Amino acid sequence: MTEISPVGDHVRLGDLGEHKILEHILRPRYGGVRGFGDDCAVLDAPEGLRGELVATTDSCPTPLVTILGETDPYHAGWLLATINLSDLAAAGATPIGLVVNYTLPKTTTAGEFRRLLDGVDACTETHGTKVVGGDLRDGPVRQLTATAIGRCVPGSRLGRAGAEVGDRLLLVGSPGYLWSYALLVEEQARLPESLVAEIRQRACRPTAQVTAGRTLATAGLARAAMDVSDGLFPTVRTLCGANGLGARVTTDIQLDEALVDVCKQSGLGRFELAQAWGDWTLVVAVRPQDVELAKKTLAGEGIAAQEIGTLVPREQGVSLDDGEKTELWDGIAQERFSPSSWHGGDLPKLITEVLGRRAG
């Protein structure tokens, strides 16, 4: 039986925001569904299939790199696949296929369509999977959606719940590349051409942490996980909410050397760059005694990971620790159905909104 929602039928979604839509409309209706609120839905596996099937679906917005001058449809195709595969990573799943849905204007050229397909196919191949089906239709504007299906080793599936007080938070992957490239394009920083090319490559072709999620899950080293699709603050806040906990997060987050240089030149702290969205990292809850093993295991796969915080009792809230003081974290979130929902825009203004600084 569906629970009664406290939100009346007259309330606009834009007045609620994504978080309240989830809690007050979707959770009362679907909260009893296994896996509700996680990055992936849980499917009943066919008889005789070893493992647990999971699925996720996401649409691809206008990529930030398009605003940065990267108009090749290849980048949108790559991002569409990454967005969906990143959710499988948060479940600890191995991808087994991607189903795509393309709505394209009739003015789209065959060459543009092929480049879009090239991006999707290259990304799925990089992550060890492929497109297995889909749909194509015409429409006034381009809309790209995909559904990714994966399989978890029995008993290893990760969700957002499962963490406890004292667990450590690991940030898996290398944050900061997308918005570093934005700062370089905006000429807030300058680097040698070879470094700019590397940062551009990482910004245009982000990697979902599929190997990391699967490795930690199958080794029993992760208790809960979520991909950083909307920024570090909403990710930590959501994990805390799913577990009835708070968190104390350090501002001393490490970045790759070239990105540290970008921070210095543009007047940013490392944390301001690291907390932004767009690099498809994971936040994983790990037992204190498993932190070093988890980091060593990932390092063996060539994957960066760093400890960024501790889960604490709920009454302590979600706070930042700069080494001298601890204060509540009122962070930046890309929340749908809110003023911070991503719809593109003017680059200097976006830098101000997303990185919390003056541009120019």
Q: Residues forming the annotated binding site?
A: 39, 56-58, 87, 134-135, 160, 227, 229-230
In terms of Cα–Cα distance, which of 276, 283, 279 is closest to 331? 276
* Alpha helix ranges (H) inside 37-107: 64-67, 73-91
Identity of the amino acid at 307: E
Total number of residues shown for the chain: 360
Is residue 87 within 8 Å of 58, Cβ to Cβ? Answer: yes
Annotated binding site for ATP: 134-135, 160, 229
Query: Residue 220 burial by CB count (10 A; 0-12/13-18/19+): exposed, middle or buried?
Result: exposed
In terms of Cα–Cα distance, which of 276, 67, 302 is closest to 180? 276
Residue with tokens 């898996």: 172
Measure the CA–CA gap between 277 and 232, rounded to whole angstroms: 7
Helix (H) or strand (E) holding 182: helix 177-185
Measure the CA–CA gap between 145 and 186, rounded to whole angstroms: 30
Annotated binding site for Mg(2+): 39, 56-58, 87, 135, 227, 230
Kindly list the distances between the CA atom of residue 220 and the CA atoms of 26, 94, 154, 180, 217, in Å, as whole numbers in the listed order.
Answer: 31, 15, 11, 34, 5
The token pair at 269 is 């702290």
197: helix, strand or coil: helix
